[in-house]
Structure 1
């Protein structure tokens, strides 16, 4: 809380964050003091990264302490159970076991040890041969099933590795093949297409307005109470027809003028350079034509 600035005092979120960090540092200091048990705690830089590492370390240490405590408690309970079983064992049975063990040959002792180890490993309730045989069969079946599952998983893993290699090759081809490379002039083409689209849209709106005006004029003519065969109606129709013919001729002329510049780039500067180049070529062609004409005249 000592490193709070004047601006943080007016920010509840920053103040809350500073308070939580102060609580975390207090817990870390308490934990380090407990671990060093009276010794001097080494000095270190107090920042967010150090706090994060120390918090994770303390949490891991607490989990390890809990696991060790549980393990020790289980060991004590197991030891108590063994001692209880040892105390409850019949002394006569113990004496009989010691007598039998003492009079067994080395082969017999090895066989008894093997039987006891097998019984413990199979977790069987007794040393009956039938019980041990059934447990062995069950373990064999389980082992075979696990082996089949492992083979299936290995086959699936090999298939996945093959598919992964195929996908990596396809990705490498997509990244290296020039056919899949984006053209360098794609942004320019996109810009030209957008510009032409906007121009065409404006033309479409203009023609739609003209068409709607013509349709409205036609509807007014149709709704007019005048006789279509009258001289006024005929003159009006002729004037409209003449206007339409003039408009059509104007549109055709404009289209021809635009077609002349159809091969030029959309950029103004590039178009000017192209026109200049064509003018130079035209001038050279004229000079060649004049030269050839002079040669013909000279002959």
Structure 2
């Protein structure tokens, strides 16, 4: 009940759970005190897992005690019934006569057979029955021996693990590298302050971003609000292709127009000028041919 928090006082379920755990711990403490019979109970960590294990162990121990008590009561009643059985004088006389008639070796054999039947708890002294019982006892003893060897191996492993854990615990408790920093409280306070400051900055930037998005939405025209959509981007690409084709066509026409640079603006004057140039071109071709023929004759 010492670990109740203020919030638990207003929670009936938590308070009820705490009371149940306190009662379980009181029962465990009483049971351990009884089992250690005045000796000091070893210290252990008190948590829910430990409580669960100890509760199961105490319940198993109580069941074992009850079973042992029932077995002892049955044995006492059986012995009492055997003591109350009336002795038959004829049986005693026959047994005395039989013992007197036996040789020392026969008497030893009879004693051995009777002792074996009693030790094996056999219903009769039949040799085959006692042989089966003896085999069964041998198998049981072998199984118990194997189980004891397994338990011993497990115990050795647990002892090694316990020693290793104690060494690690001592290392954690004594090594300065695992000690709590002296300025831990100051570091925690500083980090908490930085976290609060960063959270305030984040909220401030989020507000600014929301304001910018709102102002941008208001300033955008209805047509431009969907400018970033896939359809708008595809349309822009098509328009860009058409514009490039038109630009190439204009450049080709400009090159063709450049070939007629220097001609008069009047159509008839331009045609006369072109005629003169064609006559001059013919003269140049004829002159070329003549020069070529002169070179061939040489």
TM-score (structure 1 length as normaliser): 0.44
Whichever of the two has the greater Rg, that structure is 2
Return the TM-score normalized by structure 2.
Answer: 0.45
